[in-house]
Amino acid sequence: MPKRLATRTQRLTGTPRNLARLAAALRRGDLVAVPTETVYGLAGNALDPKACRRIFAAKRRPTNDPLIVHIHELGQWDALAEVPPEALLVAGAFWPGPLTIVLPKKPVVPDLATSGLPSVAVRMPAHPLFRRLLKTCGLPLAAPSANPFGYLSPTTAQHVLDNLSGRIPFVLDGGACDIGVESTILDLRNPRRPVILRPGAIHADDLSRVLRCAVTPYRGKKTPPGSTAVAPGMLEQHYSPRTPLVLVGRATAATFKSLGSGDALVLMAKPTRRFPVPSGASVRWLSAEHDPAAAAHSLFTCLRKLDTSGHSRILVELPRGRSALAEAMRDRLTRAAAKTRPGTDVSPE
């Protein structure tokens, strides 16, 4: 089991002084949890294998699940990856933003960061505080989501502290993340056959328009536990609360009636009729049908709250619709509900 840090985790706001202090910590090889427009990340110097090792240890993430490298400006990309013109095209359209691009890696990127894969995932984030930190430290920063491996991603600094307090020295508090679900991952290793490895706020159709070719979802095998994920967003079970999560079809009177004491039901729209809620059960709703952005923004917060309030089950409707965020939420919820556990202890403390 990784050692606990003796120091308590410091939560810092983004003053110029604090940013300078955090940049110095990153240059020394320390870790800083950072806000991004998608979810909070756990950042460390991507070029320093020791810092990368600390990231895996703090998250209890198996080293066969590679890290995303974050950059501040396009000029940093060439040093890390073989960048084809197609990649520059999509980066021009969507960076800074919630898009991660996978390309063949250059030797400067430590094998540990990419779990031995010959490719590297790179993203230029949009969050202003994280951007200032990237600029101040002048390093590419490896940053997976700042949650214990397998658990729900954090979308506030408090979520990070709830799971990683005492295991990391710093969290930079940038408020709640705008988007609330992780970036779209686009595999451009073969620029003529772009593949989405993980759906996010940037839709395949938007990428298709820019690339002028079909962009298809990954259709390969799910990653078996313990092996290096070539399409790691494809871990069958991930993003899970500790409370069993069960997907339900469109909730009807029968769904409400079947709720047991201790069950929580999450609906994707405000119910149009009032159904009686059995005693001891609770019902929440997100606005996924009318406002997928608002629903994505609060999805993980909602699941975390239910997960820490003693429910026996969380029943969730799947959002409908073709929007990028509805697709991303369906993807995360389906994985959260999957019964296969990866070959690692995923329970947060």
Q: Applying CB under 6 A, does 14 fall inside the site for ligand TXA?
A: no
Instruction: Give the x/- contact pattern for ligand TXA in 118-157, rule: CB under 6 A.
Output: -xxx-x-------------------xxx------------
Instruction: Give the x/- contact pattern for Mg ion in 98-137, rule: CB under 5 A.
Output: ----------------------------------------
Rounded Cα–Cα distance for residues 184 and 328 (Å): 8
The one segment of 72-80, 127-135, 138-146, 154-162 that binds Mg ion by CB under 5 A: 138-146
Q: Applying CB under 5 A, does 145 fall inside the site for Mg ion?
A: yes
Rounded Cα–Cα distance for residues 96 and 144 (Å): 17
Q: Applying CB under 6 A, does 117 fall inside the site for ligand TXA?
A: yes
* Strand ranges across the sheet with 119-123: 10-12, 170-172, 32-34, 41-45, 141-142, 68-70, 119-123, 99-104, 184-187, 195-198, 216-217
Q: Applying CB under 6 A, does 323 fall inside the site for ligand TXA?
A: no
The one segment of 70-78, 145-153, 212-220, 261-269 that binds Mg ion by CB under 5 A: 145-153
Q: Applying CB under 5 A, does 183 fall inside the site for Mg ion?
A: no
The one segment of 24-32, 34-42, 241-249, 272-280 that binds ligand TXA by CB under 6 A: 34-42
Q: Applying CB under 6 A, does 342 fall inside the site for ligand TXA?
A: no
Which partner, Mg ion, ligand TXA, none, binds residue 199 by CB below 5 to 8 Å per kind? none
Question: Could you give phi then psi for residue 207, rounded to 5 degrees?
Answer: -70, -40
Which partner, Mg ion, ligand TXA, none, binds residue 123 by CB below 5 to 8 Å per kind? ligand TXA
Considering the complex, what minimum distance in angstroms separates the CB of residue 51 from ligand TXA?
15
Q: Which is nearer to Mg ion, 119 or 145 (CB)?
A: 145
Instruction: Give the x/- contact pattern for ligand TXA in 58-97, rule: CB under 6 A.
Output: -------xxxx-----------------------------
The one segment of 35-43, 249-257, 286-294, 313-321 that binds ligand TXA by CB under 6 A: 35-43
The one segment of 38-46, 79-87, 256-264, 332-340 that binds ligand TXA by CB under 6 A: 38-46
Rounded Cα–Cα distance for residues 290 and 296 (Å): 12
Which partner, ligand TXA, Mg ion, none, binds residue 303 by CB below 5 to 8 Å per kind? none
The one segment of 228-236, 267-275, 299-307, 331-339 that binds ligand TXA by CB under 6 A: 228-236
Nearest of 304, 195, 308 to residue 240 by alpha carbon: 304
Question: For strand 41-45 and strand 32-34, is the pairing parallel, antiparallel, or unpaired?
Answer: antiparallel
Rounded Cα–Cα distance for residues 135 and 99 (Å): 19
Q: Applying CB under 5 A, does 243 fall inside the site for Mg ion?
A: no
Rounded Cα–Cα distance for residues 317 and 329 (Å): 11
Structure tokens at 172: 């930079």
Considering the complex, what minimum distance in angstroms separates the CB of residue 123 from ligand TXA?
5
Instruction: Give the x/- contact pattern for ligand TXA in 169-208, rule: CB under 6 A.
Output: -------------xx-x-----------x-----------
Residues at the contact surface with ligand TXA, assessed by CB under 6 A = 36, 38-39, 41, 65-68, 98, 100, 102, 114, 117, 119-121, 123, 143-145, 182-183, 185, 197, 229, 232-233
Residues at the contact surface with Mg ion, assessed by CB under 5 A = 145
